[in-house]
């Protein structure tokens, strides 16, 4: 079976990307009673002006360890609770 492919990104804007770890220390996690705070990992992509900067990796070092050897293009590593695979956009530096 051929690996899945995504269409090429379209659109006139370059894209910036960042990740944020958010933690609410004032309230316990409603789903995990033993955890005293709420936690959320957020990935943001936003339109930006082109700049000469370091390109962002498509996968983190941890995610890369789970990717199939020799895989090319978007990969959905078999990690628990990572959510759907991230898709590259124009100018994100994700390849």
Condensed to tens digits (0 to 9), the pLDDT of residues 55-90 reads: 777 677 887 777 776 666 555 555 555 555 555 555
For residues 17-33, b (16+ Cβ closer than 10 Å) or e, as one string?
beeeeeeeeeeeeeeee
Could you report how far apart the first and last alpha carbons of the chain are, in Å? 22
Strands (E), 28-94: 38-48
Predicted confidence (pLDDT) per residue in 13-72, tens digit? 787 888 899 999 999 998 888 989 999 988 888 888 877 877 777 677 887 777 776 666
Confidence (pTM):
0.44
Show me where the domains of the chain are located. 14-65
Show the CA angle centred on residue 78, arms to residues 76 and 80, nearest 5°. Answer: 115
């Amino acid at each position: 079976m051929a690996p899945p492919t995504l269409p090429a990104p379209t659109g006139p804007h370059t894209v910036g990307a960042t990740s944020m770890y958010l933690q609410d220390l004032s309230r316990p996690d409603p789903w995990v009673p033993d955890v005293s705070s709420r936690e959320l990992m957020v990935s943001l992509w936003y339109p930006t002006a082109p700049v000469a900067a370091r390109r962002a990796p498509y996968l983190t070092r941890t995610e890369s360890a789970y990717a199939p050897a020799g895989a090319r293009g978007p990969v959905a590593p078999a990690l628990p609770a990572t959510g759907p695979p991230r898709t590259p956009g124009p100018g994100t530096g994700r390849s």
